[in-house]
Amino acid sequence: MDSRHRTGPDGDGQRSGRADLTVRPGIRAVARAAGVSPTTVSHTFSGSRGVRAETRERVLRAAATLGYTPNRVAQGLRRRRTGVIGLASDRIATTPFAGRIVQGAQEVASEHDLLLMLVDSEGDRELESRQFRALAAQQVDGVLVARMSHQVVARPERVGELPVALADGTPETGWAVPAVVPDEEAIAATAVDRLIGSGHRRLAFVNADDDAPAVHGRASGFRAALERAGIDPAAAMTRSEASDAVGGRRAGRILLERGPHERPTAIFCFNDQMAMGVYQAAAALGLAVPTDVSVVGVDDLELVSAALEPGLTTIALPHREMGRAGMRALLEVIDRGSASPEPVTSRLTCDLVERGSVASPPG
């Protein structure tokens, strides 16, 4: 027999010969060095069964000393898994928060010794369908569908039987998959409570004009928070515009060009970019933030919120935690398979980031 095709001394199928003068250490070598059985070494690296902490540490030290790494391909064949997870995004290249979601997902994947395979559809449904087909062909264990803004997610045409979970997306009606999203109503409540706590009673809400869960949830939370404070929501001033600085500027101008006793003393904005537009509208009208009008945004987009003067008080969206929680939800689906319980949508709390844009009402 050609020496290049002999198995290694541990019987692990490792090849040796003139072309490779080093023999890759196998499970039996690690087992001898750690003083345990080869089965214990296998369980240590696969996680299929519990191994006592001190035993596991001894095995890992022996493996590190010998330079042993487990054969992931063989493990995948035995467990019918590849150890690869797909992450399907819609606008990762153009969204400043995308890196945080990917970071959170990657952290959990790394904790489970999994590899993340990333695809970006750029919002193209047909491209997304082809990407799902490609991920299925690569035999990924599951797919985390991550949206860069909270929206309803339609079931991809090529999803088939792949395990799926959503991050920052709500599944369309009839598609039963777990999802992780921000608590939109609580976001608005936090902002309104902060403004009312500073003495404001004439509040306005500058909302986006999209048909999205974030838009409807924050509007509902705004009304509910006013009612709890004894303020008639019908008397509150609201405007819906494009969710950018231009839209915020347009809404801010309409709200703030009223007389000093009619205009709002505080404005809650759908996002930080709209809040920046409100700052600009106030400046154009000779008004100062927060002396004449207090402003609260959402996102904590630091390129905006920390750069404004004064800094913008805002509600930080938990993008990193959505990536982590979404990945954990996906791994539960993969582990449980058909025995998975009814999928749920988890709503994450969001923190208020204080800067300098909120003060007591003028006068």
pTM of the shown model: 0.77
Nearest in space to 245 (alpha carbons), one of 217, 210, 206, 214: 206
- 187 has pLDDT over 80: yes
Tokens of 59: 């095995």
Q: How confident is the model at residue 53 (pLDDT cuts 50, 70, 90)?
A: confident
Residue-wise over 134-144: b if at least 16 C-beta within 10 A, else e?
A: ebbeeebbbbb
Range in 51-60, 74-83, 353-362 with the lowest mean pLDDT: 74-83
Q: What is the three-class DSSP state of 291? A: coil
Instruction: Determine the pLDDT at residue 8.
Output: 42
CB 145 within 8 A of CB 167: yes
Tell me if 84-181+320-348 shares its fold with 184-317: yes
Contact 304, 357 (CB under 8 A): no
Task: State pLDDT tens for residues 222-263.
Answer: 999 999 999 999 989 999 999 999 999 999 999 999 999 999
The answer to whether residues 280 and 325 touch, using CB atoms and an 8 Å cutoff, is no
Q: Give, in degrees to the nearest 5, the angle at Cα 166 between 162 and 170.
A: 120
CATH class of 84-181+320-348: alpha beta
Q: What per-residue confidence (pLDDT) applies to 91?
A: 80
pLDDT digits (tens, 9 = 90+) for 343-362: 889 999 999 999 999 999 99
Q: How does residue 363 score in pLDDT terms, banded at 50, 70 and 90?
A: confident
- Average pLDDT on 145-159 reads 88
Q: Which of 65-74, 183-192, 210-219 has the lowest mean pLDDT?
A: 65-74
For residues 56 and 44, the answer to whether their CB atoms sit within 8 Å is: yes
Which of the two residues, 98 and 40, has the higher pLDDT score?
Answer: 40
- Give the rounded percent of residues in the chain with a pLDDT score beyond 70: 87
Q: Where are the domains of the chain?
A: 3-79, 84-181+320-348, 184-317
- Quote the pLDDT of residue 80: 58
Confidence check: pLDDT of 3 > 70 = no
Q: Is the pLDDT of residue 9 over 70?
A: no
- pLDDT digits 0-9 by tens, 116-151: 999 998 888 889 888 988 998 888 999 999 998 899
- Interval 69-91 mean pLDDT: 71
Mean pLDDT score, 102-114: 92
Mean pLDDT of the chain: 87
Of residues 109 and 122, the one with the higher pLDDT is: 109
Fold of 3-79: 434 Repressor (Amino-terminal Domain) (1.10.260)
DSSP-derived 3-state class of residue 347: strand
Q: Of 166-170, 303-307, 334-338, 352-356, give the lowest mean pLDDT range.
A: 334-338
The pair of structure tokens assigned to 283 is 């400046």
CATH of 184-317, picked from 3.20.19.10, 3.40.50.300, 3.40.50.2300, 3.30.110.60, is: 3.40.50.2300
